[in-house]
Amino acid sequence: MKKFPIHLCQPDNKKSCAACCGLYNFKLNDRQHTIERLRRNTLIFFQNSQEDITKVIKHHSSLYRAKDNGAEKCFQTLFNCEFVGFIDGSERRVGCLLHPQLNNGADFRVHSFYGDRLCEEHYCLSYYYLSLQEQLLVINVVKDWYLYGLTITDIDLVKATYQVLSDKLGEGLNIDLISRSQELSSLLLRFFEFKLDWPFKALGDNRFGKYIFDSDGYREISINYKKFHRNRSPFHAFFKAYSSEFKNGFEIDEAEKLLAKLVDRFCSVYAIQNKECK
């Protein structure tokens, strides 16, 4: 990690991200189905610890590599690795089961689709496009691996959250203040949790965040404000990140009110606590 101050893949012992391994790249990518796949992969190491691990790895690959990269996946260009699993007993962190840190120094990543070299040197776009402050905004408040991976890789949402709150306050966010405050952390977390329970979220297994997948590839969702006699929303980036689909203009109004209320509440609490610290 000479290039970057924070290892976004494994930032702490509470959560981690394996999105680049295809963790969410399935039509059934809700929490429960994702957990089931992770447990399926993880069990190969626990149940077969006394056997020739190379044979076990190759057998597991023969069973699931093609399956995980067939009709079940969304984005065809991204490979879904059959060796991503839980790397701790409490199922709080996800990652590479072939990594040498999990195998007494032995590097089994040569058996992965991309090989050990690419896995070792790959860094997702969030390393490059999120500022340190924006990265910490997520790391300090999201404790759950499933939501963390969805959020830290959603560059547009993280940047929009930081910008909207900073603009409202008229200053850059004090990350230390937020991390020390349970109330501020909870309010901030809500912006990210809407990825899971947004009331205007479109249904269907061909959507993921701002993307729609079909046989021809993928495209970004569009929101036709003109159709509903509305101007482009100041929360447009949030709407796309939450995979929104509005039936009428009144739903757009309600969505804006919901986010505006959250922004106002956060900034009100922030102003009070920030003043107390000075």
pLDDT of residue 278: 63
Amino acid identity at 248: N
pLDDT of residue 106: 77
DSSP 158-182: HHHHHHHHHHHHTS---HHHHHH-H
Domain extent listing, the chain? 19-122, 155-277
State the pTM of this model.
0.93
Contact by Cβ (8 Å): 173, 131: no
Gyration radius from the chain CA atoms: 20
Label the pairing between strands 84-86 and 207-208.
unpaired
pLDDT of residue 203: 83
pLDDT of residue 103: 80
pLDDT of residue 41: 95
Structure tokens at 105: 């120094």
The tally of CA atoms less than 13 A away on the side-chain side of residue 32 is 0
Q: Of 124, 39, 112, 123, give the one whose Cα is nearest residue 81.
A: 112
What is the pLDDT tens value at each position of the chain, 278 positions in all? 457 899 999 999 999 999 999 999 999 999 999 999 999 999 887 776 656 888 889 999 999 999 999 988 888 888 999 999 999 989 999 999 998 888 878 777 888 877 767 777 789 999 999 999 999 999 999 999 999 999 999 999 999 999 999 999 999 999 999 999 999 999 999 999 999 999 999 987 777 888 777 656 778 889 999 999 999 999 999 999 999 999 999 999 999 999 999 999 999 999 999 887 76
Cβ neighbours of residue 259 under 8 Å, at least 6 residues apart?
Answer: 191, 235, 238
